């Protein structure tokens, strides 16, 4: 069986998936129902996701800004604070160095706007992807010298820049590194290294984005300067939520608070650039914003500049106080994002064809290279390949005779660990468990591809190459209702680490079935459960699969349930992700 087939047109079938259904725990559900007064299905989801304790479940359902962790617990917070407070007072020049993705740009924007508010003396820069690359380039060091900087401050990068930090310090500057990437065995000798991933960290949560780290650092500075922290939150949550969601951070713990309140602040933002961007990216501006609006609307547009042109455009958009400039940049980002989509689709099609022809889709790890791919697109290509073939994927191109690539992974395969295990064949690399980047000599690509394929054979079992359908709870007859859907909304915002609940319902009789849509590719179902309750459901891009079903047949379905309003009547409706014949 080719795993790729199960993801074609997002149509998932029982034979191509591992249905993972954790049995419900009535005892835990009873406790949550009694203590919190919630629906049994809501209690089941909370229990399955690790919130069986009523206090923890209540905190999850009711995130509060007061639940933010103390910034002083961040590693080297005190050292960073002392250096920056002194710089504020003495007007020492601070050089801010960010990154070219949304997280890096929003990190830099938070620092720049905060420094403006305290009248600090600073210069802010985000690198050019192809001219400078990720992290600290020699040109950045030279630029800091030209700016007569006395303090070099990184955001969303720097934890692996051992040599570059040493070079900056040798020039007499103090260095503050703020980052959220996994540290290597050797740490840079910075004057302050603020990263919750450090082994010495006492910070309660490791999952902050780069923007989240500087957001909390500046929150601490706000408090220590004697200014109201709530006012600071109101001004900067709109930027922090962008970096958190766009960098696909887990939406649990502190990130859940940032995103919950950040989405509200983003909708009401007074930042001219964000207002212009919202007009372009969000069609319905009346409804509340969601993580989807960032992940598929705002984020890709901000990222497009760094992918195909210069991330400085996106930074300028987030900092501008001129409406005409904001509108002009937003229009430019719209244009370049359209170009990005076209180039991405073309490159992904080329990669698919090459993989199918060569049989690379059966490798434990897919490694593809094309010298004509734009360096800003390789991460997106890797993501599409990982999604299509459901295995770790590296997509590479060349810059100045060096192979540069990005990788995306599946659960169970830690890219950061894999890269560290192959450091002898790489010129550099790093990142997270699920997303990373590498560089190596062109003539070593085949060697790397073979070695990481063999390495993965020791890490992954064959069944891990089959996508898993993780089902939160089985819905029993009579449990689904509109009231339940309204309550389930409190489990959001959804995203990495907190996906939209996926439910299963067994032994549903097909009472009606018809193909719908312009090309009749979708299937509308009328179903009835064992209690006699009727259910409406739809399965997209499914006509080929459902043509094999028959009226009166009993099936199990898995999917999410949403409110559907038709002619003024609102009902619960299943969006089926997978189905299978019911077996007793």
What tokens appear for 309 in the block? 């042109």
What tokens appear for 363 in the block? 């490798």
Q: What is the pLDDT of residues 131-142, one digit of tens each?
A: 887 778 888 999
Residue in this structure with the two tokens 């060349």, named with its chain if needed:
398
Q: Is 350 contained in some domain?
A: no
Q: Are residues 381 and 316 in the same domain?
A: no
Ramachandran quadrant class, 582 (left: phi over 0; alpha: psi -120 to 50; beta: rest): beta
CATH of residue 45: 2.40.50.460
Residues facing residue 198 across a β-bridge: none
Name the domain boundary from 437, 465, 493.
465
Report the alpha-carbon distance of residue 554 to residue 528 in Å, rounded.
Answer: 9
Name the domain boundary from 465, 497, 530.
465
* Alpha-carbon separation of residue 352 from 345, 386, 448, 506, 584 (angstroms): 11, 11, 20, 36, 40
Closest CA to 485 of 575, 578, 577: 575
Q: Is 344 contained in some domain?
A: no
Q: Write down the pLDDT at residue 543.
A: 81
Q: Are residues 224 and 187 in the same domain?
A: yes
Q: Are residues 161 and 73 in the same domain?
A: yes
Report the alpha-carbon distance of residue 430 to residue 46 in Å, rounded.
Answer: 34
CATH of residue 423: 3.10.310.30
Report the alpha-carbon distance of residue 151 to residue 169 in Å, rounded.
Answer: 9
Contacts of residue 438, Cβ cutoff 8 Å, sequence gap at least 6: 394, 396, 404, 405, 406, 407, 419, 426, 428, 429
Q: Write down the pLDDT at residue 56.
A: 96
Kindly provide the residue ranges of all beta strands, DSSP E only, lying in 158-292, ordered along the sequence: 174-178, 192-194
Q: Peptide bond preceding 470: is omega within 30 degrees of 0, i.e. cis?
A: no
What tokens appear for 270 in the block? 């007074």
Q: Is 136 contained in some domain?
A: yes
Q: What is the pLDDT of residues 54-77, one digit of tens each?
A: 999 999 999 999 999 999 999 999
What 3-state class would DSSP assign to 282? coil
Q: Write down the pLDDT at residue 303.
A: 95
> Do the Cβ atoms of 359 and 326 come closer than 8 Å?
no
Query: What is the layout of strands, in order, in the sheet containing 192-194?
Result: 122-125, 94-97, 151-155, 174-178, 192-194
Segments of the chain with pLDDT less than 50: 1-15
Q: Are residues 267 and 416 in the same domain?
A: no
Q: Is 2 contained in some domain?
A: no
Reduced 3-state DSSP string for 205-240: CCCCCHHHHHHHHHHHHHHHCCCCHHHHHHHHHHHH
DSSP 8-state secondary structure symbol assigned to residue 94: E
> Do the Cβ atoms of 254 and 205 come closer than 8 Å?
yes
Q: Is 55 contained in some domain?
A: yes
Report the alpha-carbon distance of residue 102 to residue 393 in Å, rounded.
Answer: 22
Closest CA to 215 of 189, 181, 180, 190: 180
What tokens appear for 307 in the block? 């992918």
Q: Is 511 contained in some domain?
A: yes
Q: Are residues 72 and 170 in the same domain?
A: yes
What tokens appear for 458 in the block? 């020791």
pTM value? 0.89
Q: Are residues 207 and 155 in the same domain?
A: yes
Q: Are residues 271 and 404 in the same domain?
A: no
- Quote the number of domains for the chain: 3
Closest CA to 405 of 432, 433, 370: 370
Q: Write down the pLDDT at residue 437.
A: 92
Q: Are residues 382 and 289 in the same domain?
A: no
Please provide the DSSP assignment of 387-426 as one string.
HHH-S-EEEEEEETTEEEEEEE--TT--HHHHHHHTTTT-
Residues facing residue 515 across a β-bridge: 523
Q: Write down the pLDDT at residue 568.
A: 79
Report the alpha-carbon distance of residue 364 to residue 390 in Å, rounded.
Answer: 10
Structural domain of 454: 359-465
Q: Are residues 459 and 515 in the same domain?
A: no
Q: Are residues 482 and 456 in the same domain?
A: no
Q: Is 353 contained in some domain?
A: no
Contacts of residue 406, Cβ cutoff 8 Å, sequence gap at least 6: 378, 379, 381, 382, 394, 395, 435, 436, 437, 438
Q: Are residues 77 and 14 in the same domain?
A: no
DSSP 8-state secondary structure symbol assigned to residue 359: T
Query: 385 burial class (0-12, 13-18, 19+ CB within 10 angstroms)?
Result: buried
CATH of residue 173: 3.90.1640.30
Name the domain boundary from 465, 494, 512.
465
Residues present in the chain in total: 584
Q: Are residues 30 and 144 in the same domain?
A: no
Residue in this structure with the two tokens 């209702």, named with its chain if needed:
481
Burial readout 132-164 (b: 16 or more C-beta within 10 A, e: otherwise): bbbbbbeebbebbeebebbbbbbbbbbbbbeeb
Q: Is 337 contained in some domain?
A: no
């Amino acid at each position: 069986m080719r795993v790729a087939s199960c993801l074609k047109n997002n149509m998932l079938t029982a034979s191509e998936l591992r249905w993972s259904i954790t049995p419900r725990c009535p005892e835990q559900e009873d406790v949550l129902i009694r203590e919190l007064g919630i629906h049994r299905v809501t209690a089941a989801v909370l229990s399955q996701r690790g919130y069986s304790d009523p206090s923890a479940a209540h905190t999850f359902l009711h995130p509060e800004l007061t639940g933010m962790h103390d910034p002083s617990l961040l590693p080297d917070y005190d050292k960073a604070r002392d250096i920056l407070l002194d710089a504020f007072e003495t007007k020492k020049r601070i050089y801010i160095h960010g990154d070219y993705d949304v997280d890096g740009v929003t990190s830099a924007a938070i620092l720049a706007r905060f420094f403006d508010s305290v009248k600090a003396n600073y210069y802010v820069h985000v690198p050019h992807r192809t001219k400078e690359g990720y992290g600290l380039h020699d040109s950045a060091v030279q630029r800091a010298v030209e700016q007569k900087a006395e303090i070099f401050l990184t955001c969303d990068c720097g934890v692996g820049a051992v040599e570059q930090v040493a070079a900056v310090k040798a020039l007499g500057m103090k260095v503050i590194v703020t980052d959220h990437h996994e540290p290597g065995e050797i740490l840079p000798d910075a004057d302050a290294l603020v990263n919750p991933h450090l082994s010495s960290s006492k910070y309660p949560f490791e999952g902050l984005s780069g923007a989240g780290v500087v957001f909390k650092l500046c929150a601490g500075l706000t408090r220590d300067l004697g200014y109201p922290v709530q006012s600071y939150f109101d001004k900067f949550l709109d930027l922090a939520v962008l970096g958190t969601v766009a960098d696909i951070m887990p939406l649990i713990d502190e990130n859940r608070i940032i995103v919950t309140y950040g989405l509200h602040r983003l909708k009401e933002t007074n930042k001219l650039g964000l207002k212009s961007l919202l007009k372009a990216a969000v069609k319905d501006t009346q409804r509340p914003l969601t993580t989807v609006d960032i992940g598929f609307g705002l984020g890709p547009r901000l990222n497009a500049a760094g992918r195909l042109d210069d991330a400085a455009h996106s930074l300028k958009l987030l900092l501008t106080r001129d409406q005409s400039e904001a509108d002009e940049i937003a229009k430019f980002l719209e244009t370049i994002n359209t170009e990005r989509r076209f180039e991405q689709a073309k490159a992904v099609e080329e990669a698919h064809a090459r993989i199918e022809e060569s049989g690379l889709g059966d490798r434990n790890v897919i490694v593809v290279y094309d010298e004509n791919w734009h360096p800003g697109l390789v991460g997106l290509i890797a993501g599409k390949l990982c999604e299509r073939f459901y295995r770790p994927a590296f997509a590479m191109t060349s810059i100045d005779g060096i192979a540069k690539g990005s990788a995306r992974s599946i659960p169970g395969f830690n890219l950061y660990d894999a890269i560290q295990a192959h450091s002898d064949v790489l010129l550099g690399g790093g990142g997270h468990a699920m997303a990373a980047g590498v560089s190596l000599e062109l003539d070593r690509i085949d060697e790397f591809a073979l070695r990481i394929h063999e390495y993965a054979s020791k890490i992954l079992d064959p069944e891990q190459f089959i996508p898993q359908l993780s089902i939160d709870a089985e819905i029993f007859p009579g449990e689904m209702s509109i009231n339940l859907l309204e309550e389930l909304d409190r489990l959001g915002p959804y995203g990495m680490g907190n996906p939209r609940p996926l439910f299963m319902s067994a032994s549903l009789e097909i009472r009606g079935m018809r193909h719908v849509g312009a090309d009749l590719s979708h299937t509308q179902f009328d179903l009835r459960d064992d209690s006699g309750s009727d259910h409406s459901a739809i399965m997209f891009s499914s006509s080929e699969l459902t043509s094999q079903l028959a009226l009166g047949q009993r099936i199990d379905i898995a999917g999410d349930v949403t409110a559907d309003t038709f002619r003024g009547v609102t009902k619960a409706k299943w969006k089926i992700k997978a189905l299978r014949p019911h077996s007793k």
